[in-house]
DNA sequence: ATGATAATGAAAACCGTTATCAATAATAAT
DNA sequence: ATTATTATTGATAACGGTTTTCATTATCAT
């Protein structure tokens, strides 16, 4: 069971209602591999949902992050970006970012070796600094083929 | 040759003037290991430099980043933070961040193994996606001892 | 010292995001 | 199905960090 039915069930289980904006935003983000800002989500949905307000987009994105259905990402550009969070554990990935045009590429190279090292670092940091580590962000910054010239 | 003389030389070589605010901000950030926001820099310097304006702090931080004397960091909290960028290559580090109180810890564990893997990933990504890779950010997120309760 | 102009600071503008609040829509109870 | 309850919505205003504007000031080449 996947898609709208799954999402609806998940929201309602946590006391949230299944509404038109929530469904529209989830469908949009689940269909794209892009990392969209609130304003971009708003722009994409304005055609099919003319009444939708930007405030609702912000609130819904926030809710869906709290519900674990989306990831919220902050690259240094001012606005937050959101990506669909697959239930599949295998889709964990890191980011390759163009410093000039902002293009974002998901990559999963060397996940095995990476995960091994990440585990080691996590254990070491947890022991040395007393942290309970929950997550990590790894990103590479550079220039994409178009921006290199 | 290190410190003010070095900084002055670097700025002037790039056509910038050596001014009181620039010197004050560089001295502040070179003396702390903290990751300060513009407002925190402003607050720290207000005692010794009463005339200093927040606008100048923003402009100066931006300039010093462009000159390669500071690093600008964005954790998802709204404001940017700045750290002194040592000329020493050995000081490259990554971050351990408390998701609750925002505490930031620099760490350099496993740099050798890490650097090795980073190199491999960089080569792979450069080849596969045609990027020219310049930098990377690695951060671990969790709860510090105080915030775990 | 003098002049050219880069840098500064106060104020206003800007931009992403959040708070307010009356109207509406989703769900539960009847 | 109808009604009652209340979470959700959307317009507007407010907010916080950052940038722009512009007249004044400080740095530096001469
Ligand atoms: Mn991604
Ligand atoms: Mn640091
Ligand atoms: Zn690019
Ligand atoms: Zn903490």
Per-residue pLDDT of A115-124, as tens digits, reads 888 888 889 8
Residue A112 has pLDDT above 90, yes or no: no
Three-state SS letters, chain A? CCCHHHHHHHHHHCCCCCCHHHHHHHHHHHHCCCCEEHHHHHHHHCCCCCCCCHHHHHHHHHHHHHCCCEEEECCCCCCCEEEECCCCHHHCCEEEEECCCCCEEEECCCHHHHHHHHHHHHHHHHHHHCCEEEEEEEEEEEECHHHHC
In this complex, do B110 and A130 lie within 8 Å of one another by their Cβ atoms?
A: no
Residue B140 has pLDDT above 70, yes or no: yes
Helices B54-66 and B38-45 sit at what angle, rounded to 10 degrees? 120
Residue B46 has pLDDT above 80, yes or no: yes
Ligand nearest to the CA of B146: 4
Sheet bearing A104-107, strands edge to edge: A104-107, A94-98, A132-143, B132-143, B94-98, B104-107
- The encoded tokens of residue B1 equal 């040759």
Q: What is the pLDDT of residues B55-90, one digit of tens each?
A: 999 999 999 999 999 999 999 899 999 999 987 777
For residue A149, what pLDDT is reported?
A: 80
CA–CA min distance A132, chain B (Å): 5
| % of chain A with per-residue pLDDT over 90 | 70
Task: State which residue has its Cα closest to the C1' atom of D26.
Answer: B19
Answer for the pair B73, B83: CB distance below 8 angstroms, yes or no: yes
Ligand nearest to the CA of A91: 1
Q: Is the CB of A22 under 7 A from strand D?
A: yes
Interface test with B, best of A137, A141, A145 (most B CBs within 10 A): A137
Looking at residue B98, what DSSP letter applies? Answer: E
Q: What is the pLDDT of residues B93-132, one digit of tens each?
A: 899 999 988 999 999 877 778 888 888 888 988 999 999 9
For residue B64, what pLDDT is reported?
A: 98
- The SS3 assignment for B143 reads strand
Residue B15 has pLDDT above 90, yes or no: yes
Least confident of A69-78, A106-115, A134-143: A106-115
Q: Which domains does chain B have, with CATH numbers?
A: 1-87 (1.10.10.10), 89-149 (3.30.1490.190)
By residue count, chain A amounts to 149
For residue B1, what pLDDT is reported?
A: 52
For residue A88, what pLDDT is reported?
A: 72
Which positions of strand C lie within 7 Å of protein CB atoms? 6-12, 15-20, 25-27
For residue A114, what pLDDT is reported?
A: 82
What does residue A97 show for φ and ψ, rounded to 5 degrees? -125, 135
Answer for the pair B72, B47: CB distance below 8 angstroms, yes or no: no
Answer for the pair A20, A57: CB distance below 8 angstroms, yes or no: no
Q: What is the average per-residue pLDDT within B134-149? A: 91
Least confident of A2-6, A61-65, B66-70: A2-6
Sheet bearing A36-37, strands edge to edge: A36-37, A81-84, A70-73
Dist. CA B63–CA A139, nearest whole Å: 24
More confident residue, A18 or B118: A18
């Amino acid at each position: 069971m996947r898609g709208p039915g799954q999402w609806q069930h998940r929201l309602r289980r946590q006391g949230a209602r299944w509404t038109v904006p929530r469904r529209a935003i989830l469908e949009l983000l689940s269909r794209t591999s892009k990392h969209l800002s609130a304003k971009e989500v708003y722009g994409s949905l304005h055609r099919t949902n003319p009444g939708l307000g930007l405030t609702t987009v912000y609130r819904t994105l926030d809710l869906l992050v709290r519900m674990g259905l989306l990831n919220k990402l902050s690259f240094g550009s001012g606005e937050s970006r959101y990506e669909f969070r697959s239930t599949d554990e295998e889709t964990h990935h890191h980011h390759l970012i163009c410093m000039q045009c902002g293009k974002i590429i998901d990559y999963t190279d060397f996940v095995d070796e990476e995960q091994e090292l990440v585990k080691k670092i996590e254990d070491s940091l947890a022991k040395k600094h007393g942290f309970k580590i929950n997550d990590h962000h790894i990103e590479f910054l550079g220039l994409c083929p178009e921006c290199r010239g």
